[in-house]
Amino acid sequence: MSTSSRFAVAVHVLTLMAWADDEPLKSDHVAESVNTNPVVIRRMLCELAESRLVISQTGSTGGSRLARQPEEITLLDIYQAVESRGVFSLHRHPPNPDCPVGVNIGAVLNDVLDEVDSAVEQVLANITLKDAVRRLKPCVRPGSNLDSRTAAVHRVSANGVKRKNGKEQVLSARN
Amino acid sequence: MSTSSRFAVAVHVLTLMAWADDEPLKSDHVAESVNTNPVVIRRMLCELAESRLVISQTGSTGGSRLARQPEEITLLDIYQAVESRGVFSLHRHPPNPDCPVGVNIGAVLNDVLDEVDSAVEQVLANITLKDAVRRLKPCVRPGSNLDSRTAAVHRVSANGVKRKNGKEQVLSARN
DNA sequence: CTAACTGTAACTATATTGGTTACAGACGAT
DNA sequence: ATCGTCTGTAACCAATATAGTTACAGTTAG
């Protein structure tokens, strides 16, 4: 499955906004944190705005901020806003209806894929943006006596992270 | 997420073999049921053979059959054989390490993605190939007095299937 | 030996995502 | 009023993954 990074980027963007605590962020600033092009961010912000997760303002003092409190936004909300399709797909072309397996495998698979989707949604529904911010442990909060530039000194290596499944990978190379 | 149909096709192929009850199937025959090219099937069968789910034989009377009983093969086995990566990906490029959120969001996301992957795996681990065959309800079994050609008369429309999430779609167009 | 398979390379087609440039429109500041 | 700085969005390109196709070497039963 060629999974996209859209969900990861969306969570990153909204976590930034939760961190910024209602101060509107400019797409350039967000893009710098995500390490991508501002247009990519603006495109995603449009989708998030359509889903009523962020509010954007044009103009010279514009920017985007969360539409709700971080504890009122779940990762499921974000997932549904940016990943329209389920986890798996069915066949590209319909199976042969003249085969007793082919004619029915679609219904069987639909049931399975629904079960999978439900399981994913249940996990994501139980994590809020506030939780995500809370999990940013090694970082200092904006209100502390260390500003973000200082905090950057404490940065840990993002490489060599191991997933539970044992696949070694770099932070950006889950694919 | 641009999900692939590899898992759906793999389940289809192995369900066919479970249905065939240890009789070796030729790639041409399988391809006809899946409605694709035999080489696509053979490629997938190679992967499934590497994962010890099927056994293939070359030669004029060759073909592929299950390596184990259908009740000893779970959908998780199939998933792991053909979908190497997890459900989501992290960022394509590493986030900005000079940003207090960017430097840590990867670890937070890894935890979340692990939870999601585990949930998916748990669902799939609890469904065996035998279950899949059992769920092919409206079909007649090979041993019955209706052969597969006759059974095809009973075929139902594969179109207009609705997923639980309300997205209307055709059987082949979950993407 | 021959026919009928699998295994596999090589190429093409298609789709999705992400990156980039460019520009119209909004809006606060002066 | 106009100017600078934003967002929104179109248009295009690049990269990648999947899938479809042709072709052929190697294997095996008869």
Give residue B23's pLDDT: 94
The reply to whether the CB atom of residue A111 sits less than 7 A from any atom in nucleic acid chain D is no
> Which is higher by pLDDT, B73 or A3?
B73
| CB A101 within 8 Å of CB B18 | no
Contacts of B136 in chain A (CB under 8 A): 100-101, 104-105, 108
Mean pLDDT of A130-138: 87
Show residues of chain A in contact with B32, CB under 8 Å.
Answer: 96, 99
**How far is CA B159 from its chain centroid?**
20
Tell me the average pLDDT of chain A: 80
Whole-number Å distance, CA A57 to C1' C30? Answer: 21
pLDDT higher than threshold 60 for residue B160 = no
| C1’ D23 / CA B25, Å | 23
Listed residue (B19, B36, B31, B22) closest to B139, CA to CA: B19
Q: What is the mean pLDDT of residues A41-64?
A: 95
Q: Distance (Å) from the C-alpha of residue A72 to the closest C-alpha of chain B? A: 18
- pLDDT value for B138: 57
Q: Is the pLDDT of residue B3 over 80?
A: no
Region A156-175: mean pLDDT is 33
Taking CA–CA distances from B131, the nearest residue in chain A reads A108
Q: Torsions phi, psi of A121, nearest 5?
A: -65, -35
Task: Pull the structure tokens for residue B48.
Answer: 């499934």
Q: H-type helices in chain A, by residue range? A: 6-20, 27-34, 38-50, 75-82, 102-125, 129-135, 148-152
**What percentage of chain A's residues is helix, strand, coil (to nearest 5)?**
45, 10, 45
Query: Does residue B69 have a pLDDT over 70?
Result: yes
pLDDT > 70? residue A25: yes
Q: Average pLDDT of B128-151?
A: 61
| Confidence category of residue B82, pLDDT binned at 50, 70, 90 | very high
Q: What is the pLDDT of residues A136-154, one digit of tens each?
A: 865 555 544 333 322 222 2
Provide mean pLDDT across the span A150-167: 29
Q: Is the pLDDT of residue A54 over 90?
A: yes
Q: What is the DSSP track for B105-116?
A: HHHHHHHHHHHH
pLDDT above 70 covers a percentage of chain A that reads 76
Which of A88, A136, A158 is the closest to B3 by Cβ? Answer: A88
What predicted TM-score, i.e. pTM, was given to this entire model? Answer: 0.81
The b-or-e profile of A26-55 (16+ CB within 10 A means b, else e) is ebebbbbbbbbebebbbebbeebeeeebbe
Contact B65, B23 (CB under 8 A): yes
Nearest beta carbon to residue A100 from set B95, B119, B148: B148
Asked if A85's CB is within 8 angstroms of B175's CB, the reply is yes
CB of A110 within 8 A of CB of B163? Answer: yes
Residue for token digits 């054989």?
A: B81
Dump pLDDT digits (tens) for B7-64: 999 999 999 999 998 999 999 999 999 999 999 999 999 999 999 999 999 999 999 9
Beta-carbon pairs below 8 A across chains A and B? 304
3-state DSSP call for residue B162? strand
Nucleotides of C under 7 A from a protein CB: 2-10, 15-22, 25-29
